[in-house]
Amino acid sequence: MNSFSNFVIDSTANKTTLCTISEVEFVGNIVELPPESQSLIEMQNPAKIHIRSQSFRTSTNNLPGGSGTGLYDLLIGTRVSSLKSLFIACSPANAIEGKSAGVNPNLTQGTCLVLGGQSYPQRTINPSYHPADAFLCLQKSIGALNMVNYNGSISKPAYYTSSTATGLMMAYNTTLANCITNPNQFFLGFDVESISHKGGLLSGLNVNGSPSFFRAQVDSALAALQSHTFYFFRFS
């Protein structure tokens, strides 16, 4: 298991030292085919049968504390043949949630993904001054757009959190007292799944042939002396 300090915020009185996992259950699906159909599949695939599934990969990058206004293309270090969505979390070194924090690094208009030389979305987002558009992209990336049951649990004050007070955003929290009522929960999500299923079950975007970047259009200098680590989560 990951270190508790990476995802648990402890008070000084009660430290988390032990975790017990019990009543583990495996849940799976079995697909049974008639003998005739199974034989046809085995004839067409004599060596092995490939079953497509959902998978994810992670990578990181960072900006030094105090990085000023400007355009930063951050390399996303993995390549996949069917990218469906990508999520980004940015964590300043002194955020109270540690590596689990989500803070807007003062992003403004021009922020997007650059995949195969193309911008996604083509109409770039402006998180600091139009955070509702960024939140809409996040909802779309998890299939929650206009669905009441899957709208998440991020409050408006928690989402409106940035490296320094910028636009409509307030500076992020570094103390336990403030985190209880106003945690750092700014996250970005991008849906890049193809509507036309060009490759059958491979309905995502093929980004194997060229490097991918997160284009961070920073509006004002990041919090001084605090390195900002970007965590990229690719679903394919």
Q: Which residues of 186-198 are buried (b: 16+ CB within 10 A; e: fewer)?
A: bbbbbbbbeeeee
Spell out where the chain has E strands: 56-63, 70-76, 85-92, 111-115, 118-125, 161-162, 170-171, 187-191, 212-218, 228-235
The answer to whether residue 7 sits within a structural domain is no
* Domain span at 122: 52-235
Question: pLDDT-based confidence at 232, cuts 50/70/90?
Answer: very high
The answer to whether residue 11 sits within a structural domain is no
The answer to whether residue 40 sits within a structural domain is no
The answer to whether residue 221 sits within a structural domain is yes
- At 129-171, the pLDDT tens digits run 999 999 989 888 887 766 666 667 888 889 999 999 999 999 9
Q: Which two tokens mark 236?
A: 């394919």
Query: What local confidence, expressed as pLDDT, does residue 196 receive?
Result: 46
Which residues pair with residue 235 across a beta bridge? Answer: 56, 85
Per the model's pLDDT, the better-predicted residue between 113 and 3 turns out to be: 113
CA separation for the pair 182, 99 (Å, rounded) = 17
Per the model's pLDDT, the better-predicted residue between 39 and 227 turns out to be: 227
Whether the per-residue pLDDT at 221 is higher than 70: the answer is yes
The answer to whether residue 18 sits within a structural domain is no
Query: What local confidence, expressed as pLDDT, does residue 149 receive?
Result: 64
Contact in structure between 173 and 184 (CB atoms under 8 Å): yes
Question: pLDDT-based confidence at 172, cuts 50/70/90?
Answer: very high
CA separation for the pair 74, 43 (Å, rounded) = 46
Query: What local confidence, expressed as pLDDT, does residue 198 receive?
Result: 42
The answer to whether residue 1 sits within a structural domain is no
Q: How many domains does the structure of the chain reveal?
A: 1
Of 70, 87, 116, 88, nearest to 216 (Cα)? 70
Question: pLDDT-based confidence at 208, cuts 50/70/90?
Answer: confident
Whether the per-residue pLDDT at 63 is higher than 80: the answer is yes
The answer to whether residue 25 sits within a structural domain is no
Query: What local confidence, expressed as pLDDT, does residue 235 receive?
Result: 84
Whether the per-residue pLDDT at 124 is higher than 80: the answer is yes
The answer to whether residue 125 sits within a structural domain is yes
pTM of the entire predicted model:
0.82
Q: Percentage of residues in the chain with pLDDT exceeding 90?
A: 43
CA separation for the pair 213, 126 (Å, rounded) = 17
Per the model's pLDDT, the better-predicted residue between 128 and 78 turns out to be: 128
